[in-house]
Amino acid sequence: MFIVTGGGSGIGQALAHALAVLDKDVLIVGRQEHSLKNTASYSSLIQYVSADVSTLDGRHQVYDALKDVKKIDALIHNAGVIDPIVPLSKISEDAFQRVMSINLEAPLFLTQLLQDKLIGGRVLHIGSGAAHFPVAGWGAYCVSKAALSMLTRCWQLESNQIAVASVMPGIIDTAMQAQIRAAGSMDADKVDFFKRLYHTKQLIQPETVARFLCWLLLDVDASHYVSKEWDIYDESHHAAWLRSPQVVPRLEE
């Protein structure tokens, strides 16, 4: 069984579909039931549970849905938010905590809750280059992704029974990118860069990211899997998984 949070759209939806094509059982999790139903309609191998993993109750809903599952092959923490895009001087405490609860606390505590079923399996954190390069207006998002990167390393230090890794999936043609393009001029140069990638069709497609993630989850041996933070733009591994017509455009700012 493969668990994918944020499975109703974007990377989560594409990954659920790709895993189902490979005959894997998948449980997708998200807050929008209609989106989950749409994803699950692709294959009888995809089940869903409508739950908010940023809450204790939501995480226990996921746990209850897995009561008859003895082993989880992989848990993919894909759910994440970037909003609000505002200066740190203006972000409210509630808004900041919401970003942390979704982007950081949910991955920590859902893994903790499911760890007995994950022994011998894998956890994959969907990270971001924003963990390492600050962007004006993205303070909460950048901080949460930096913390998620460190969370990965701490799990690796503390657990030798679960393989935990982090991946930077690139700049993807998803709803989050649309939100960034519409966010205004907090960082005008960065927004212009993203708009240029969109209009020149240089954004990575979710299906390409899904192929990359399937390779990491299914084909990379455990010791190599945990050896680094994976970057989709690193061309050294493209030959192992990237197939035409899918492409990973080179980034040139």
List for the chain the helix, strand, coil content (%; round to 5).
Answer: 50, 15, 40
H/E stretch holding 197 reads helix 188-199
The domain defined by 2-170+205-233 carries CATH number 3.30.1240.10: no
Is it true that the peptide bond before 249 is cis, omega within 30 degrees of 0? no
The mean pLDDT value of the chain amounts to 94
Q: Return the pLDDT at 191.
A: 75
Is it true that the peptide bond before 84 is cis, omega within 30 degrees of 0? yes
- The pLDDT-based confidence of 123 (bands split at 50, 70, 90) is very high
Domain limits of the chain? 2-170+205-233
Q: How far apart are CA 166 and CA 131, in angstroms?
A: 11
In the predicted model, what is the mean pLDDT of residues 116-142? 95
Of 79-88, 193-202, 209-218, 224-233, least confident by mean pLDDT is: 193-202
Which one is catalytic: 63, 141, 198, 233? Answer: 141
pLDDT at 185 over 70: no
Q: Return the pLDDT at 228.
A: 96
Active site residue 225: no
Distance in angstroms between the alpha carbons of the first and the last residue of the chain: 40
